[in-house]
Every structure is written in C-alpha cells, then in structure tokens.
Structure 1
Amino acid sequence: MRPTVHDIAASAGVSLATVDRVLNRRPGVRAATRAKVEAAIDRLGYVRDVAAANLAKGRVYPLVFILPDSNNSFMHGLHAEVREAIARAAAERTDIRVIEIPAFDPAALVVALDAARAERPAGVALVAIDADEVRDAVARLAEKGVPVVTLVSDLPGSRRDHYAGVDNIAAGRTAASLLGRFLGGRAGPVAVLAGSMLVRDHRERLEGFAAVLQAEFPDITILPVLEGRDEPQRAETLVAATLAAHADLLGLYSLGAGNRGLIAALKAQGGERSLTVIAHELTVHTRAALQDGIIDAVLNQDAGHEVRSAIRILKAKADGLAVVEAQERIRIDIFLRDNLP
C-alpha cells in the first residue's frame, strides 16, 4: 500500500496538521520538527498526489489565452473552442481570460504577454509569432514561474513549456505529396497562398511543401508566395491576379486561413480551367468547396483538441506533474469530399 499522511504523522510522532504544514511549506513548524517530518517522508517513500490535493482544496487555475483577432474561419473556431472551455470552467476548476490582439503583430503580442505576467496566472497559452521580442517576453514569464504553451504556431528556441499543434513540416510535405499525385506527372507552376511568413507554422508548411516537390516532383515549380494575411478580400485579390497572370498554372496550395477569398477567386474564374487545390482547415467554407469540387483536399487540425490539450498541460505544469505525451499529440486529418465527417 502507498504510504499516507497518517503514516507520516505516526512515523514522525507529530499531528496531521503539522504534516500538512510541512507538505504545503507553510510557516509555524520548528526546524527540528520539520526535519523529522521530512525524514519520515523520505523513509516511507511518500509521493504526494498534487492533483488530488488541489481537487480536495478546490483549487482554481487562472489561465490566460492570447489569441489573434483575425477575420478567418479557423480562428473563429479556435475562439469558439476557448469559449466552450470557459463554459466548462466550474467542472475543470479553471478561470480563463482571453486577450485578443491584432493578427501578425509581434509588438501587440509582447504587450499582452507582459500584461499576463503581471497577473501571475497558473499558465498562459498563445498563438505564437516567431520573433525575438516574443521569445524574450516568454522568457520573462518563465522567470516568474508561469508555464507557457504555444497553440497552432510554435516558438522553438524559446522557454515555452509545450506546443499544442500539428507538425507543420509534415503537413506541408503531405500537401505536396497529394498535389504531386493529383497532377499525375504534369509539369508547370503552382501558387502558394500564405497568411504571413512571420508565423512559424506557415514557414514550416512551405518548407515541407517545397522539399517534397523538389525531391519527388521536380517538374513542378513554386511561384513567389502570396501573403494574404488571412484576410479574405486580400487573398481573393492576390489569387485572382495570379490566375490572370499565369495561364499555365497547375495548382494552388493554401497553407494559411485565407480560404474564403481563395474560394471566391476560384469561383469567379468559372469553368475555364481546372486547378488542383489543397487547403488547410475544415470549415463551413472549405467543406462546401470540397463538395463542389473547387478544392481537392483539406488538411485539418482539431482546434478543440488543441485548446483542451493546452489546458491539461498548463494545469499539469502548475502542479509539477508530467505531461502524457501520447494524449497531447495533435493529428493531421486529410479530408476529401468522399470522407467528410
């Protein structure tokens, strides 16, 4: 049987209240008595169940989510998943506050991270922007003992504790494999629509995409990247201009979230030609485009899983507990119109 606090009290010859004070590092215990209790803990091999202790105390975990205020369907879905987590707050013993910032704005993200640090929450989750000033702000949180989880887009080389998102290089490689096979050996250019090269997930997807095309489909070339900043109107304008300028265009990879604009531009060209199109995130818009044959395949990440994962990890880190890596792995789902959920 696992030793209990009663066993510690009996072994050390002290009261349960004294054991509780020592375990929780509270004052009011003489040094000699504290040493006796700690010796009994070591002797018995007692391991404290922090999660159970916090549950018994009714501990609430204040968490901060920093999300971009972006006009795209995926981010709307991510916000909705956080709102659902807020609705579960009583059952999960969380108190979640959301800070919204402009998309792709490192300075605004730094301000939000520093504001969160001043609150000393149990943890912070953020959609990261790959910038040194953001790494510095994350380091300041770490110095205060505040766990940090990156969502959707990672921040390698920083002091963040965990990343809740898909392997974006693998996602880009998967997109290239699908595109190359769909094109069946044809040669020519393809276009890439990104949000911004400031975010690492977009850069990594492009890296994986380009690597597979170069190695396995060398007759397919990539045009200069279109940066639509995940804004539908901007994305539509950029895609429409590319379609007009490149009559030999074979396909298009939308690696960000500007898919409403992409779909609008493709619809506007009518039935003049057929492109192979790979996009990210299954939304109401990409689902309809899959069903209509405008998009050929969608790579999806489960925003709900990412939010739930971030919460579990932040709570575990706050308690000094290990993370169950297998539970927190975010899958890349591939949807065609034939297997839509």
Structure 2
Amino acid sequence: MTSARIRKTTIKDVANAAGVSTATVDRVINNRAKVSPATATRVLDTYRRLASNATADLPGEPERRLRFDFVMESSKPFIDSIKTAVERIASSYQRFNISLHIHQAPLPFNLQEFTMRLSAIATESDGIVLVCREDPAITSCLNAISKAAVPLVCLTTDLVDTERLGYVGINHVSAGRTAGSLLGQFIGPQSGDLILLLTGSFRCQYERELGFRSLIREAYPNLSIREVYAHQETDPDCFAKLSEALKSHPVRPLAVYNTGGGIRGVADALTAMGWSREVLFVGHELNDASLELMTTNRMAAVIGQDTKSEVAVAVNALLHHHQRTTTPPTYTPAAPLVFLKENIGTLISDGLPIFHGELNGP
C-alpha cells in the first residue's frame, strides 16, 4: 500500500481561516470542552476545506480502498443514533478512499454467534469500531483479531482488557455522578428512595452506577438507593421489571435513574402507576424516544454525548493507524452533556446529529 503524502494543516491555519482562537480549534477537534454548535460547525467546515485543498493535486499512486466496520450491540435507539452519525460523516471522508459498514447484533444476544460474526467480519476489515458488552470470550476474540493486524477502536463503552487502539466516548463515571447531582438538586432536602435501574453488562453502565452511587453517598445522605435489574435493554423488559418493583414496594420513590436503554418502558411503568409527574426520571441518550418523553414532561433530564464527533474521532483513529492522515487521534474521554426540555430546541435547530427518523418513530 502506498501511503498518502499529506501536507499538514495546522491548528493555527484553521484558527486564522475560521476567525477563532487556536484554543477553540483545539477544543472542537479534540472534543475537550463545550463549544457552541455554530462555532464548532464553522471550525470543522474550515478544517475540512483546508485539509482537502492541502491534499488536492498531490502526485502519487491511488491508495487501496479501506473498509472500516462498525459492530454494535446495544439498544435500538442508540444504534440508530450511531447509524445516523455514520451516514452524516461518510461524505466528509470520501477523499480518504474508505467505505464504512454497519453491523448490528440481533436480539436476544447470543455470545457464541456474536464472536463468530466478529471473526468473520475481521477477515475482510481494515479496522473495527466496536460497541459491545464485556465478556472474556469477546475479549479473547478481539485480541486474536488485533494480533491478526486488524486495528480496533472501542466506541462509547470501553473494553479495557483488549488490545485496542483506544476508547472514544464520554467519562461515564462523571455521567453517573451528573445524574446523581441533578436528582439530588431537583429533590432538595426531602428524604426518600431513588430507584437505580440497571441493564446489560456494559462497562459504561458499571461506571455510571459507580458514579451515581458515590455521588449520592457523598452528597445526599437523605436519599436511599433501591436497585432494580432488567436483563435486556428493551422497553418490554424494563417496563416489566420496574412495574414489578413499584407494585411490590408500598412507598412511592422520589426518582428513577436508568443507566441504560429501555427508557420508554421506564416511562410507561411510571405512567401505569399514575406517577409520571410525581416521580423524577433521568436517563441516557438524546434520541426520538427521550425527546418525546422530555417534551411531554415524562422525563426530567437526559445525560448524553455527541455521537457524531465520537464517530468522527473513531474513524480518524483508524485513518491515522493506516497513515492516511497526520491528525493524531485523541482518547481523552469527553465530558457528558446534559439535556433538559428547555435547552434541546437550539440543539435540534443547529442540526445536532442525534435523531433517527421522525418523532414517535420506531
């Protein structure tokens, strides 16, 4: 394979062309801190334009087309948000001569089938971006893939025992602590129970639980945690498990924190008890379902992440590995985003790529 001869575009070049500071460019490119959507868009568009101009008309033999595969095991709404992000960035990477492919693990999850599919995908892949649970069998499979010279990037949830290039996503301990802080401040001095709804076997959810429990223990001794476990990140399973827990306990909880998917099932369980307005509900990922629940006052807040930026960073990491770009990857976890009913309108109008289909879609 012939490596691309890329004339480097510097942060200073982008800052001068976009009319912003070099610090702002650094924050946007590396997703280090919050920048207004309009400014981020201007910086990224400027970077792409300068980078494209810098590589135009370079002599050299055409490079082999690279294939990058996104392999995902998660709830449908979250996978849909990743698919949307992949589709929206694809055109920005045409000049790198790559193709992006998406694979979704079917439900119910089957560990043996998943590892077999991973191994099959790896035989044709030049890089895998992975969203999945932690399991020794998966770790063994991925380390074998890595030894076969197929680079791996963990997206939104880490697999720390794998030989991956790095993890791209938010700080999930911080996300759990943020959820605890929001609920503690919403509730105030009142004493009572919080329900912690756990789903799946993902490291991101373990870390969210750790952050949530530690914050409540440290800052809000007036609040007690009751745990409910749902085996699947689906609306039916979350509805069934939470409904059972609510009916079996005589005292109405003050709030519910859901660490994973199935948020519509959680909201429906509270509605079925007649508590949709009395019990605060905080969960994760801004998508069609959570948008509807917030706008109808059935969800107090959503802890989210910028999936488009994360997908772009993951693709850049694979490009850098293959020497198709000189822009080094960054694996510093980003800060979680907090979405309330009052602040989502501007984000939607600025085109934040988090929605798949129409409101009330599947």
Whether TM exceeds 0.5 here: the answer is: yes
1:113 aligned to which of 71, 96, 118: 118
Q: Could you tell me whether the CA contact under 8 Å between 2:285 and 2:305 is conserved in 1?
A: yes
SS in 1 for 2:123: helix
Q: Quick check: 1:169 aligned with 2:150?
A: no
Q: Match of 2:314?
A: 310
Identity %: 25
Deviates more, 1:78-87 or 1:209-218: 78-87
Q: Distance in 2 between matches of 1:82 and 1:255?
A: 24
Q: Quick check: 1:234 aligned with 2:229?
A: no
Q: Distance in 1 between matches of 2:208 and 2:153?
A: 20
Shift of 1:160: 0.9
Q: Quick check: 1:202 aligned with 2:195?
A: no
2:184 aligned to which of 180, 183, 186: 180
> Which residue identity does 2:340 align to in structure 1?
L
Q: Match of 1:152?
A: 156
Unpaired segments of 5 or more residues in structure 1? 6-50
Shift of 1:194: 2.6
Q: Match of 1:65?
A: 70
Give 1 or 2 for the bigger CA radius of gyration: 1
> Which residue identity does 1:137 align to in structure 2?
C
Q: Distance in 2 between matches of 1:214 and 1:178?
A: 14
Shift of 1:272: 8.1
SS in 2 for 1:325: coil
Q: Distance in 1 between matches of 2:90 and 2:279?
A: 42
Q: Could you tell me whether the CA contact under 8 Å between 2:233 and 2:261 is conserved in 1?
A: yes
Equivalent residue runs for 1:9-158 within 5 Å? 57-68=62-73, 72-86=76-90, 90-102=94-106, 104-119=109-124, 121-158=125-162
Q: Distance in 2 between matches of 1:232 and 1:324?
A: 36
Q: What do you get for the CA RMSD once the two structures are aligned?
A: 2.6
User: TM-score normalized by structure 2?
Assistant: 0.72
Q: Quick check: 1:290 aligned with 2:306?
A: no
> Which residue identity does 1:234 align to in structure 2?
D
Q: 1:329 to 1:55 in 2, by over 3 A?
A: farther
Q: Distance in 2 between matches of 1:92 and 1:71?
A: 31
> Which residue identity does 2:120 align to in structure 1?
A
Residues 77-97 of structure 1 show CA distances to partners (whole Å, capped at 9, x for unaligned) of 222323444566634421223
Q: 1:319 to 1:179 in 2, by over 3 A?
A: same
Residues 123-151 of structure 1 show CA distances to partners (whole Å, capped at 9, x for unaligned) of 11111321122121221122122210011
Q: Distance in 1 between matches of 2:87 and 2:71?
A: 13
Shift of 1:204: 0.9
Q: Distance in 2 between matches of 1:324 and 1:336?
A: 31
> Which residue identity does 2:77 align to in structure 1?
S
Residues 146-202 of structure 1 show CA distances to partners (whole Å, capped at 9, x for unaligned) of 210011211012211111211111101111111111110222221122321x11111
Deviates more, 1:287-296 or 1:150-159: 287-296
> Which residue identity does 1:229 align to in structure 2?
Q
Q: Match of 2:247?
A: 244
Q: Match of 1:10?
A: none
Q: 1:105 to 1:214 in 2, by over 3 A?
A: farther
Q: 1:58 to 1:257 in 2, by over 3 A?
A: same
Q: Match of 1:38?
A: none
SS in 1 for 2:69: strand
Shift of 1:253: 0.2
Q: Distance in 2 between matches of 1:122 and 1:65?
A: 11
Q: Distance in 1 between matches of 2:87 and 2:183?
A: 35
Q: Match of 1:325?
A: 330
Q: Distance in 1 between matches of 2:281 and 2:222?
A: 17
Q: Distance in 2 between matches of 1:188 and 1:314?
A: 48
Bigger relative CO (Cα 8 Å, ≥ 6 apart): 2
Residues 42-94 of structure 1 show CA distances to partners (whole Å, capped at 9, x for unaligned) of xxxxxxxxx968986244221111122x5532222222323444566634421
Q: 1:213 to 1:272 in 2, by over 3 A?
A: closer
Q: Distance in 2 between matches of 1:160 and 1:221?
A: 38
User: TM-score normalized by structure 1?
Assistant: 0.76
Q: Could you tell me whether the CA contact under 8 Å between 1:290 and 1:296 is conserved in 2?
A: yes
Unpaired segments of 5 or more residues in structure 2? 6-53, 348-362
Q: 1:253 to 1:147 in 2, by over 3 A?
A: same
Q: Distance in 1 between matches of 2:321 and 2:227?
A: 42
> Which residue identity does 2:101 align to in structure 1?
R
Shift of 1:288: 2.1
> Which residue identity does 1:276 align to in structure 2?
L
Q: Quick check: 1:221 aligned with 2:228?
A: no
Residues 213-233 of structure 1 show CA distances to partners (whole Å, capped at 9, x for unaligned) of 111112322212322511111
Deviates more, 1:230-239 or 1:51-60: 51-60
Q: Distance in 1 between matches of 2:60 and 2:333?
A: 26
